[in-house]
With several copies, the nearest count.
Chain A
Amino acid sequence: MTESTTPPPSPEIQAGSEDVTVPMGASTPEPGHQKAEQASRILEASRSFGITPEQYMLPAQQQIRMLDPEGNLISESEQGTGPGHEYPIPEDDVLLKAYEGLVAGRRINDQNYALVRQGRLAVYPSSHGQEACQVGAALGLGTQDWMFPTYRDTVSVITRGVDPLEVMVSFRGDWHCGYNPHDYKVSAMSTPLTTQLLHAVGVAHAAKLRGEDTVVLAMCGDGATSEGDFHEALNFAAVFEVPVVFFVQNNGYAISVPLSSQSAAPSLAHKAIGYGMAGEQVDGNDMVAVLATLRRAVHLARENSTPLLLEATTYRMQAHTNADDDTRYRDSEEVEQWKRKDPLKRMRTFLTNKGLLDEATEERISAKAEEIAASLRQAMTTEPKGDPLELFEHVYAEPTAQLHEQRDQLADELTRAEEGGHA
């Protein structure tokens, strides 16, 4: 008999404290139906907060929010926090760094948008309006951690430290991924939706097997949560108890499809309990709240080797990509409403009120953002001459005999083309 036939005795499932009335699950486990150790961790956590495991795993009763739409700090009692859902406001230097990221992020989005209009970029999925999520994702992680971004997460990737020139390679169409993921612990920005969540789980699992301290941030959009891989990733992460923070940027749309056609759940964060993990919903246009929730999620993941699901409610202010026409599926009034909740403006007001932002600082931050924008423009002026023969180099570690033949064919064509033959 190996271990897995005799699972550890199931935890006592009736919580001990008086005011706790909801048991762990719907019933006492039957023999052969015991839950993994994970359950007992959740139980312990919830007990330490004096709440039920269900209350711990379900999102707080309202989304976590620290700033009102104008950028004023709201009273603690209205932030949505509570036992098991506590989110202290980050330190001043972190807040300021985040603001820097916001300014740069907005500048990146606007610069790339301009480059697309000038025909110098093939495509750019902008995260204009979602910069608080973008910046939070990057700042929430340590250098030893990994990030798994999507096509929309350019700002996160650059904020994480990837060279902007390298990032633009894919949008310009030179090659699929321009940076070396290992250099930055940032995976190639993923296009097939939610597939990257499973990669994230695998990276965390490998680290766990080797006893390494690595949290993985797995990013996806609201629409992507409908894919089967979303389900499989959350389940694997929960069963193997690996430290992955699933970060869903719910921007209300999957191209033209609104959230209401994507899910009937009370919130996407409500999916967490179905995997035995905690879920939380945060105002994704509130930089302070995003930072607070992401930092705590990363912290819990690291301390307890446990996955968590964080849903950030935000809005994509521009079309899906430059190829999209968003007037076909939403009215400008809706977009206007969201303009009022702009994450950058809110954060600026907050920091100014807090006395953290003076003119000099603003200037320094703007200048830095301009630098990045300049490097993006620069990336687009140099037209790197890709070597077509490189196509055959990276299919296998060593090209097969077949690829050698095909490479020779192309080489011959290229030579003749130079010589003016009909290839």
Chain B
Amino acid sequence: MSATTATKSTTTSFASALNTAMSDAMENDPSVVVFGEDVGTLGGVFRITDGLTKRFGENRCFDTPLAESGIAGTAVGMAINGMRPVIEMQFDAFAYPSLEQIFSHIAKMANRTRGNVRLPIVIRIPYGGGVGGVEHHCDSSEAYYAHTPGLKVFTPATVADAYLMLREAIDSEDPVVFFEPKKLYWSKEAEDLSELRAEYESGTSSRRIGAEANAQIVREGTDVSIISYGPSVSTALKAAEATAEDGISAEVLDLRSIVPFDDAALQATVEKTGRAVVVAEAQGFASVASEITARIQERCFHSLSSPVLRVTGFDIPYPAPKLEEHHLPDVDRILDTLDELQWED
């Protein structure tokens, strides 16, 4: 996706980047353990944990009974007792049984104990639609977590970030909810995992998120900023390409981390372009897209030539496979929205 990667000879899939991030972390740190439903023998329904049990044994990657609150709740205990659990929720909507554990404990334990008990837990959640999934398998649930103080919320949009950000999530002393865009699992890019490993382990990667967050401009432009994250970044990029044909130069910002949030990058791009569109799959009401929109006008009000507009899923339950195309933000809907940005002003 970035200019430098185009020259690489190896291609790497999003799934294998995630898988390698976990195995590298497990290799480096014996306290990293992976568990969840079907993550052991089967390697996960998306095969993201494939081979981990074979390589590291059943004490390091194992199946649990089928109970998500149990998975999250025992992860709390594991983390209290020195482990770094990486847990998988099989699908977005199946994390809901664990929300009490996540909201009331995982998010709050450090604060409750004045930092004496930190919970370095990674909660991996495959999310979003566009894969023809049936009900409960396509929710974009990031807002629930992003609204909950004490959680970090990451979502990679590229193969490189799948690796780098998952490594960082596992190394974080804070709990991280790690949203993996399902529709990207099978995507491939020209990336070399050993280079990514070297970049990460050097400790000097310019792509570290840290406490300040580190949004990346994935396409430069001058007329309008398209702000996005996760599965919508590629749609945003396509829309930017398309609108270039109409003579509009769109800059695309990939947030990568929702919490923490990169206000500096947001402000920089919007002040530069003077217009902004926020794109996200989730239903729009009280969403992360609402937050981004609110922040832009709070911080860049006098730079704005038109209101900040949102392109999001509708405020409806995620539709059945045959209708999902009408729900999801697509290139056309972004283009329509770009058209509304009062260019004549």
Contact = CB atoms under 8 A, between A and B. Distances in A.
Report if A and B touch in the complex (beta carbons < 8 A).
yes
Interface of A: 2-5, 122-123, 146, 170, 172-177, 180-182, 187-188, 191-193, 195, 197-207, 209-210, 214, 223-224, 226-229, 231-233, 235-236, 239, 254-257, 261-263, 323-324, 328-329, 386, 388, 390-403, 406, 410, 413, 417, 422-423
Nearest to B321: A173
B8 interface: no
Interface string B109-134: 11111111110000000000000101
A260 to B, nearest CB: 11
B332 A423 contact: yes
Given A122-B132, A329-B42, A228 B314 contact: no
Contact of B78 (A177, A203, A402): A203
A191 B40 CA distance: 22
Contacts of B79: 202
A193 B335 CA distance: 40
A226 B74 CA distance: 14
Residue among B77, B80, B262, B335 with most chain A CB within 10 A: B77
Nearest to A175: B320
Given A390-B114, A395-B149, 8 more contacts: A192-B136, A198-B69, A227-B66, A229-B101, A396-B110, A396-B150, A399-B211, A423-B333
Interface pairs A-B: 3 shortest CB-CB: A202-B77, A198-B73, A173-B321
A232 B69 contact: yes
Contacts of B45: 255, 323-324
A182 B115 CA distance: 11
B275 interface: no
A43 to B, nearest CB: 21
Contacts, number: 275
A400 B65 contact: no
Given A192-B93, A203-B80, A400-B260, A198 B74 contact: yes
Interface in B280-315: 285, 314-315
B64 interface: yes
Contacts of B322: 172-174, 386
A177 B54 CA distance: 40
Given A173-B132, A207-B81, A395 B114 contact: no
B113 A188 contact: yes
Contact of A192 (B43, B53, B100, B174): B100
A146 B77 CA distance: 11
B150 A395 contact: yes
B63 A256 contact: yes
B232 to A, nearest CB: 17
B37 A254 contact: yes
Contact of A227 (B43, B67, B74): B67
Contacts of B96: 192
B201 interface: no
B77 A228 contact: no
Contacts of A329: 41-42
B184 to A, nearest CB: 18
A391 B325 CA distance: 12
Contact of A181 (B74, B80, B319): B80
20 contacts: A123-B134, A173-B321, A176-B113, A182-B117, A198-B69, A232-B65, A232-B69, A256-B41, A257-B37, A257-B63, A391-B319, A394-B110, A395-B317, A397-B110, A397-B173, A400-B212, A401-B260, A403-B314, A406-B316, A422-B335
Contacts of A256: 38, 40-42, 63
A388 B65 contact: no
B66 A422 contact: no
A419 to B, nearest CB: 13
A226 B70 CA distance: 9
Nearest to A232: B70
Contacts of B28: none
Contact of A236 (B43, B70, B261): B70
B110 A176 contact: no
Contacts of B33: 209
A417 B116 CA distance: 31
Given A170-B320, A397-B174, A255 B38 contact: yes
A257 B53 CA distance: 14
Given A3-B58, A198-B77, A386-B322, A232 B67 contact: yes
B235 to A, nearest CB: 14
Interface string B33-71: 100011011110100000001100011000111111110
Contacts of B314: 391-392, 403, 406, 410
A403 B263 CA distance: 12
A92 B320 CA distance: 43
Contacts of A394: 110-111, 113-115
Given A202-B77, A236-B70, A122 B321 contact: yes
B78 A233 contact: no
A2 B76 CA distance: 28
Contacts of A170: 134-135, 320
Contacts of B259: 400, 402
A332 B42 CA distance: 16
A177 to B, nearest CB: 5
B43 A206 contact: no
A328 B43 contact: yes
B345 interface: no
A182 B105 contact: no
A283 B261 CA distance: 55
Contacts of A123: 134
Interface string B265-282: 000000000000000000
Contacts of A239: 64-65
B256 interface: no
Given A228-B69, A232-B67, A180 B327 contact: no
A261 B54 contact: no
A209 B336 contact: no
Nearest to B105: A195
B190 interface: no
A256 B314 CA distance: 35
Contact of B40 (A4, A177, A235, A392): A4
A179 B189 CA distance: 44
A177 B78 CA distance: 20
B319 to A, nearest CB: 6
A202 B132 contact: no
A161 B64 CA distance: 34
Interface string B80-109: 111101000000011011001100110011
A203 B74 CA distance: 8
